[in-house]
Amino acid sequence: SQTIHQWPATLVQPVGSPLSLECTVEGTSNPNLYWYRQAAGRGLQLLFYSVGIGQISSEVPQNLSASRPQDRQFILSSKKLLLSDSGFYLCAWSEWSEQYFGPGTRLTVT
Amino acid sequence: SQKIEQNSEALNIQEGKTATLTCNYTNYSPAYLQWYRQDPGRGPVFLLLIRENEKEKRKERLKVTFDTTLKQSLFHITASQPADSATYLCALGFSGGYNKLIFGAGTRLAVHP
């Protein structure tokens, strides 16, 4: 069966520091991969999606970037965090229409 | 402008009753619509998908309707239980869009014993 992992689970980072969140998927090949951010009480905002290695599409211009160095690995990065980057970051994968989400990373920028 | 609207206020119902959640959208033409359940501090979990040419879909105690004329989906949980308490998100999907979804903000459901 397929599983999706995210780490770390929680992160507290100062403003201006770098960020790297990692997501890996097991049990499937060539999935579509997604990064979302969820602010408190808000819906999921799609940040990036990828249909293959090295193929990244950005949905919202911002302080973040994404990379897909391997088929089942998706990384979200920032060179310098802003206060507004705080939120709940979710990675998801899909093969068909439905998406399957990881456990999420709670990021607090102080 | 394009919007997806779900009841922003929490829905409180008694155990055993039917919960009905609403998802309305404006200026979108989705090919399908999905419903997800999200528990606090966890990622959403897929529940049901309904396509634009389907009126109704059922899965155990769950029922979803999709009215493309009204631009509305209704999500029903029959014989609700306290374990059904969670936030429910609707999401619009589009053909040819690499399975991209646009999510509503969700409705929090509380089922009281």
Q: What is the predicted pLDDT for the residue at A61?
A: 65
**Amino acid at the residue A49:** Y
Q: Which residue has the higher pLDDT, B15 or B96?
A: B15
A95 Cβ contact list (under 8 Å, min separation 6): A28, A31, A32
Q: What percent of chain A has pLDDT over 90?
A: 83
- Overall average pLDDT of the B34-42 stretch: 96
Per DSSP bridges, beta strands A19-26 and A3-7 are antiparallel
Q: What are phi and psi of A42, to 5 degrees?
A: -115, 170
Residue of B nearest to A42 (CA): B105
Instruction: Read off the pLDDT band of B97 (50, 70, 90).
Output: low
Q: How close does chain B come to A98, measured CA to CA in Å?
A: 7
Q: Which tokens is B21 given?
A: 């959640």
| CB spacing of B104 vs A43 below 8 angstroms | yes
Q: Is the pLDDT of residue B63 over 90?
A: yes
Q: Does A56 contact B at CB distance below 8 Å?
A: no
Q: Are B100 and B32 in contact (CB under 8 A)?
A: no
Instruction: Read off the pLDDT band of A60 (50, 70, 90).
Output: confident
Q: Is the pLDDT of residue B44 over 90?
A: yes
Q: Nearest CB to B43: which of A43, A51, A102?
A: A102
- What residue has token string 């090919």? B31
Instruction: Read off the pLDDT band of B96 (50, 70, 90).
Output: confident
Q: Which residue has the higher pLDDT, B32 or B100?
A: B32
Instruction: Read off the pLDDT band of B28 (50, 70, 90).
Output: very high
Q: Is the pLDDT of residue B92 over 80?
A: yes
Mutate which: B98, B107, B108, vs A, most A CBs within 10 A: B98
Q: How close does chain A come to B80, measured CA to CA in Å?
A: 23
Which among A43, A44, A39, A73 is positioned nearest to A56, based on CA atoms?
A73
Which chain A residues have a beta carbon less than 8 Å from that of B45? 101
- Overall average pLDDT of the B45-63 stretch: 96
Q: How close does chain A come to B108, measured CA to CA in Å?
A: 10
| CB spacing of A103 vs B42 below 8 angstroms | yes
**pLDDT single digits (tens) A23-47:** 999 999 889 999 999 988 778 999 9
Q: Mapping DSSP to helix (H, G, I), strand (E, B) and coil, where does residue A84 land?
A: helix
Which chain A residues have a beta carbon less than 8 Å from that of B9? none
Q: Is the pLDDT of residue B65 over 80?
A: yes
Q: How close does chain B come to A99, measured CA to CA in Å?
A: 7
Which among B46, B103, B81 is positioned nearest to A2, based on CA atoms?
B46
Q: Does B32 contact A at CB distance below 8 Å?
A: yes
Q: Is the pLDDT of residue A7 over 90?
A: yes
